[in-house]
Structure 1
């Protein structure tokens, strides 16, 4: 039985509840979850992974064996579940109204067995766990420690792995993820042998992660548990029970030393919205120089006359496409620039181009779009002319396909998604075009030519030309995280999280997320979906109104959350119509945004904005407005949202409106961002600066030679604006 077929699925029922239109599958929770027969073809609803009957029977058998005190036999069943490569949701009760992680449940049973049961389990599996931990220590990779924890957390070596991983996370500045690792150990039956240092590390992690209340609670529990405990705090021996003021004073003095400060990422913009939290907020700094320049990324040196002529044809088509877009009232460009090291990386309609960050000079041009390159050198395919096929591709790259326009980088490679070199059917409004597979590429950024290091995906059944991961449709570029690449992809009517090796594209592990149908498949695959991550949790959008969160320290499912479509979208579904952005009052994408232990969730099928707790998926609030497009960013307690013509601000605490400002008669043509106390919004030919506090328009920066400004990126004191034909670098600070 393969892990692709090991899971059955259950449909999330998008039904209204008393307090809103959402359902959450919260692991360990008891909230009502509806279950319905799947009708995947007729709705955009996603189905989530449920454990198959064989593993469910194994869990039931293990519980019976534990009750019969047959611990050795029970351990075999439980370890089979823990060894399985993927997790799934299981029903908590016979009514199937609440669901929990299968692996979390198996781990809980082992942890709560009587001492004799735990000893029997450890006697069986400690040798394997010790060998795995030795390999993890030798290799030094975080993923190897996670694998030990995932499979053997209740052994002595598993507990050691949790402690060592928590220490690694702390040293890397991932304080809240470290705190959760230490908390897990503190609550175990064998925590006493690591005290008091375990609780002190846990308290420091909470404190440095901004959670001082949790830090104080940990220290108070430590003092309460051992009435005569003394520890060495800041060089002096202190009795915890009689000197809680001293503990508080010590805790207030816990600050980062220079040697333990994490690297400052503010001088780079490495993926969508700048980083893995997907919160496009930056701050300027005195240590980062900025320069101003304007560049034409297609102005490549040493080109032949044929190449120059072909590039000019493409640029003229881009201009024509802009004139066609303006009457549609709302259009956001797809291509998003990156800033890494001394380079600015931009997507053109036909390739990836690297410019010098300080001068704008051309550095290298990466692998061209395969289909456009074939048109240039071999002519048209089928009955359509070269001009017709090229126009279709150019419009898709500039205005429709965000998956193409979005990139990511880890400083060594730039990752991007390409369509295959065959010509797909043109995207037709209100129709379901064919969609097969695409390619994920890694280009070296430290080479003068930007060569392709590896590529995966593409068509199946092409003999010796078939690539690894053939048949996959990558929904967006991968997210570099902890030395791995986290990527969302469709394969065989299922959306999966793939975790890849950066140097080769090889799959290290994967997790099924949802079964999704044909409805609006093309629109979903054009939306450039990427994961969001923070504090040891990765949140995965499915593109069909549901979200799945995974604990990266255990590789187990945390929660799932779904958003019900609004009435307008439900009508489109019944009529089998795929609406364009101007036909509906809903969000452009389903990109989660993480800020301060909370996740902002939204769906293309509704205008609601949901705020949930990052660790539990518990809904904190929901807000609905008539028309919103994308989240600009969250600064402090203020959420800034872009509408067609308005910019609005909402409270992060309760979702209530703070202010709304109309930016003018034209709408946004690119995604903005927040810099210090300003909100920057690109429009057709000007960049609007608004006050973060009031929404007042402070400045309108004009770009006379630009037909339509596109997406923004900022790092250090540099702002990068990608237009249709030009790339602009502007200083964010006054001279």
Structure 2
């Protein structure tokens, strides 16, 4: 279905160029941006800031937006201030594009937000994370012996990030942020040189968030109604290697907290996951997931000293092993994957003991725990493990994911790089259906909300109407008036999307015969053209009677008052349609043994593309 709303996430040409380069590798491209739906509002992050779209009307519209500092677009737009010599941010980005391109688009520390319904909480950080920093503030380049000194404007962002709260009742107006100006001026302030490791988890009237300062990770309890004032804090562990100023990968992978049965589960992305009793504010357990090696190097040390930890080896990362995901608490178990781990782990929630673990086998991310099954999305398969013992229940070949999916009571919806969303039965792994984008657009991270499907990828956010909801609305309109031309057009589009091509052709023809509004006629003819093309491509001989109608629709007449820009676009589309017609005709006649006619069509096709490349499906 055509989108009801779509937005480009990057505006600056340099940002777009970086993203284009970063997404060239033939790997799974998972965006770090995760949209939120709150009531009738959709809130999402871009490479500029935060945007709020109203979904309550028939056509979604932008309600408010808030620009963030040191976002990708902001770094480019203000580069004379941030990077006057072009030797810091630009150089860092070029380094990452060569060795770890996903750091530019899979930054879940920035891309993940949270809300308690009153405020929106997010992390602001420099969008191009600095390489390891020397004690005197110089950045060590990644793949050559080179150092750069960040500008005065960038120096504070090297040492900390910022937790920000926007007031939803005041159209996203800034309410408070940490660190405060006072923190910058005093070495005794509570948030001096602090990194917040992810968006906070709202529970009751408090916020819980992990923060790292001076190589120590602490659990903070904040009061959002009092400008984020610190209520209490609990030290969890120290980081003895891969500090945030030394590890851009860990800096961009969010730590997601989870809560259940009075226990707050705190990953660290630094080798350990810790359970905290919120009632007593005490550590219940600590579990290390790092693999043992012959030459162990300490990674973390828990508080109190020595509790539950041995010496573990940690290798520097160029890319995370698992894509970021939150721990899942279900039936007294905690299931989690860590960007610096190599297995999916299942722990007992009460004491943190290991129930089972399964090594990563081409898996990309933890898709969730549903109906007693742990779903894992991989490079070309989706599989399910038994929550009880970790044994594999089923495996389905899917192709490469393009985002994080979503589930309902019985079905998991997986977005794929092929431009499709597959519906997978959670119990059996059977493929229930495949929905493809009518424009060939690749879906991203998905959410369902009030009859809409929201997809946020690396470069675009798109809102589509849910098929079931849209189908019901169309059916109701046609029950009232079976010849309603707009209803016939909508049903024809829906049937085209579902692959019911013959039925789609009938509806689209009927819509054009029943006085369809003039502004909708080009859309109906374009959809009819697509339906006829697909039928001819599937079976030319069986659908040859459609060829004359297809030839007619391949011609785009010039409308009155056409501008030069519109004429150029129409002529370009006309050439593409003519090329598609000739290709279909040549292959069709060849399949029928009418070789002379096939040869003539091939010659026309060759002449058509003599001076320029022709786009073909």
Matches within 5 A, 1:680-699: 680-684=413-417, 685-699=419-433
Partner of 1:545: 271
- Offset of 1:298 from its aligned partner? 5.1
Alpha carbons 1:688, 1:697 under 8 Å: kept: yes
Structure-2 separation of matches of 1:640 and 1:620? 17
Does 2:37 correspond to 1:339?
A: yes
- Offset of 1:418 from its aligned partner? 0.8
Matches within 5 A, 1:161-172: none
Query: Which 5+ residue runs of structure 2 have no aligned equivalent?
Result: 132-138, 149-156, 300-311, 473-617
* Shift in CA distance, 391/589, structure 1 to aligned 2, threshold 3 Å: closer
Partner of 2:112: 406
- Offset of 1:695 from its aligned partner? 1.7
Partner of 2:496: none
* Shift in CA distance, 602/569, structure 1 to aligned 2, threshold 3 Å: farther
Alpha carbons 2:194, 2:211 under 8 Å: kept: yes
* Shift in CA distance, 422/523, structure 1 to aligned 2, threshold 3 Å: closer
Partner of 1:593: 328
Does 2:437 correspond to 1:703?
A: yes
Structure-2 separation of matches of 1:407 and 1:569? 39
Alpha carbons 2:183, 2:191 under 8 Å: kept: no
Alpha carbons 1:631, 1:642 under 8 Å: kept: yes
Alpha carbons 2:222, 2:228 under 8 Å: kept: yes
Normalising by the residue count of structure 2, what TM-score does the alignment of the two structures yield? 0.62
* Shift in CA distance, 644/428, structure 1 to aligned 2, threshold 3 Å: farther
Match of 2:201 among 479, 482, 486: 479
- Offset of 1:600 from its aligned partner? 0.9
- Offset of 1:597 from its aligned partner? 1.5
Matches within 5 A, 1:87-166: none
Alpha carbons 1:441, 1:452 under 8 Å: kept: yes
Partner of 2:502: none
SS in 1 for 2:192: coil
Does 2:176 correspond to 1:437?
A: no
Matches within 5 A, 1:493-532: 493-503=215-225, 504-519=227-242, 521-532=247-258
- Residue range with higher mean Cα deviation, 567-576 or 594-603: 567-576
Does 2:28 correspond to 1:294?
A: no
- Offset of 1:312 from its aligned partner? 3.5
Partner of 1:469: 191
- Offset of 1:563 from its aligned partner? 1.2
Query: Which 5+ residue runs of structure 1 have no aligned equivalent?
Result: 1-290, 300-310
RMSD: 3.7
- Offset of 1:611 from its aligned partner? 1.5
Partner of 1:379: 80
Structure-2 separation of matches of 1:579 and 1:424? 14
* Shift in CA distance, 323/423, structure 1 to aligned 2, threshold 3 Å: closer
Match of 2:12 among 313, 319, 323: 313
Structure-2 separation of matches of 1:472 and 1:617? 28
- Offset of 1:625 from its aligned partner? 4.2
SS in 1 for 2:269: coil
- Offset of 1:389 from its aligned partner? 7.2
* Shift in CA distance, 479/704, structure 1 to aligned 2, threshold 3 Å: same
Alpha carbons 2:106, 2:252 under 8 Å: kept: yes
* Shift in CA distance, 457/422, structure 1 to aligned 2, threshold 3 Å: farther
**Alignment: residue pair count:** 426
* Shift in CA distance, 469/462, structure 1 to aligned 2, threshold 3 Å: closer
SS in 2 for 1:446: helix
- Offset of 1:485 from its aligned partner? 0.6
Structure-2 separation of matches of 1:346 and 1:501? 24
Partner of 1:355: 53
Does 2:175 correspond to 1:453?
A: yes
Alpha carbons 1:711, 1:721 under 8 Å: kept: yes
* Shift in CA distance, 716/421, structure 1 to aligned 2, threshold 3 Å: closer
Partner of 1:488: 210
SS in 2 for 1:477: coil
Question: What do residues 268-307 of structure 1 show as CA deviations (whole Å, max 9, x unaligned)?
Answer: xxxxxxxxxxxxxxxxxxxxxxx984323459xxxxxxxx
Matches within 5 A, 1:194-205: none
Structure-2 separation of matches of 1:323 and 1:483? 44
* Shift in CA distance, 707/424, structure 1 to aligned 2, threshold 3 Å: farther
Matches within 5 A, 1:169-208: none
- Offset of 1:676 from its aligned partner? 2.3
Partner of 2:546: none
Alpha carbons 1:354, 1:363 under 8 Å: kept: yes
Normalising by the residue count of structure 1, what TM-score does the alignment of the two structures yield? 0.52
Question: What do residues 468-522 of structure 1 show as CA deviations (whole Å, max 9, x unaligned)?
Answer: 6121111111011111111111111011111111121111111111101332732
